[in-house]
Amino acid sequence: MTKAHLSIVLFVGVLLLTACARGESSSSDAEKAGDSAVLYAENFDDGESCFDPTMADFAVLSIENGELIININESSKFAWSPCEDVVLDNFTFEMDVYDDTSVEGFHFFGLQIRKEPGEDRSRQYYLIRFGLGEDPTPASCAALATDSTWIDNLTESPSDDSCWVDLPEPIQPGEWNHIEITANGPVLTFEVNGNFVASVNDSRLTQGTIALFAGTHEADSARVKIDNIRITALEE
């Protein structure tokens, strides 16, 4: 985003502090900057993004063909792509996700929200995960966590003490799926493909940054593609 566009965004009160804000492919940056309801829009078309694609020994994060790709090549690993420039409190977050994992085994992807400022691994955030087991059993999970510690389950499985709850409709591997997460005060609500999944109430975190992520649990690898991110302000 140019400095001119950024000044327009700040002028209309958008919470984007500094980022490469872009609209959908049919809309220009100027049109999106002029829409006060849109806090951030991203389609990864020009290879630049607020979401930082990083590399590790076990994972490669990249922007290719207008998509953010998270590719993990070991089991029991967790890789994330943070957007440190966007600080949010109440909002609706939407994205399209394509599970391109070629091996069987439980793996997951999702969003960290209201992440506390700083760089150490002890900062807290809400973690919302969507997974597909080898059954396949589609499920979702919400929790309070840090990069190194699981603090508390926000959703509870009816059959055990885990946070995983069944989805009303499967997340289809090999297809694009639409995920929507709303943070409205202490209430966090999430949907998959227009279907309500769960709503939880927790007031410990009120604002913070966001990060995209994917992880392996029992799977030896995972590959997830993300596109068409859109963050909008809630109407007062």
The CATH number covering residue 197 comes to 2.60.120.560
**CB-based contacts of 115, cutoff 8 Å, min separation 6:** 82, 123, 124, 125, 208, 209, 210, 211
Query: How many angstroms separate the CA atoms of 90 and 25, rounded?
Result: 25
- Amino acid code (one letter) for 59: A
Q: Residue 78 pLDDT more than 70? A: yes
Residue 10 resides in a domain: no
Total of domains in the chain: 1
pLDDT band at 54 (very low <50, low <70, confident <90, very high): low
Query: How many angstroms separate the CA atoms of 92 and 39, rounded?
Result: 10
Residue 41 resides in a domain: no
Q: In this predicted structure, what is the pLDDT of residue 56?
A: 66
Q: What is the per-residue pLDDT across 174-219, written as a single tens digit (0 to 9) for each?
A: 889 999 999 999 999 999 999 999 999 999 999 999 999 998 888 8
CA-only gyration radius of the chain, Å? 17
- Amino acid code (one letter) for 21: A
Q: In this predicted structure, what is the pLDDT of residue 55?
A: 59
C-alpha pair distances (Å), 213 with each of 30, 147, 161, 224: 29, 12, 24, 9
Task: List residues bridging with 112 in a β-sheet.
Answer: 127, 211
Token pair for residue 98? 């394509």
Q: What is the mean pLDDT of residues 132-161?
A: 84
Residue 120 resides in a domain: yes
Residue 59 resides in a domain: yes
Q: Are 141 and 152 in contact (CB under 8 A)?
A: no
pLDDT band at 34 (very low <50, low <70, confident <90, very high): very low
Neighbours of 235 (CB within 10 A): 6
Residue 7 resides in a domain: no
Surface-to-core class of residue 141, CB atoms within 10 Å of its CB (0-12 exposed, 13-18 middle, 19+ buried): buried
Expressed as residue numbers, the domain containing 108 is 54-226
Residue 72 resides in a domain: yes
Q: Are 142 and 188 in contact (CB under 8 A)?
A: yes
The alpha carbon of residue 236 and the mean position of all alpha carbons in its chain are separated, in whole angstroms, by 24
Residue 109 resides in a domain: yes
pTM of the model: 0.80
Residue 31 resides in a domain: no
